[in-house]
Amino acid sequence: MVDKTVVNTLLDEGVAEVKFVKKDGTNRVMLCTTNTSLIPERAFKSEEDSKEVKPKNPDVAVIWDLQKDAWRSFRYDSVTSALSHPAAERY
């Protein structure tokens, strides 16, 4: 397991390549971020569109998947690797 603080730092600073085990047991590699300058404006709901906000689960990272162009999430305890990725220039 990779330290949660390390994962969050990588996500906040730019693009991270995160490898984790999905709930179904399959491995997944994702290029993702939480850096708002790399997430399209359309990804953020306006106040008019917002519904009741769920409480944040501290065990789950909610991130922007750059390849799927959509919000995704993973559990921190399922992360097997997290590295900085140079893809930020492409997004």
Give tens-digit pLDDT for 77-89: 999 999 998 875 6
The whole-number pLDDT of residue 88 equals 58
What is the pLDDT confidence band of residue 91, given thresholds at 50, 70 and 90?
low
Write the DSSP assignment of the chain as a string of letters: ---HHHHHHHHHHSEEEEEEE-TTS-EEEEEEE--GGGS-GGGSPPTTT--PPPPPPTTEEEEEETTTTEEEEEEGGGEEEEEEEGGGGG-
Per-residue model confidence (pLDDT) at position 30: 97
**For the segment 28-77, what is each residue's pLDDT rounded down to a tens digit?**
999 999 999 999 999 997 655 566 667 899 999 999 999 999 999 999 99
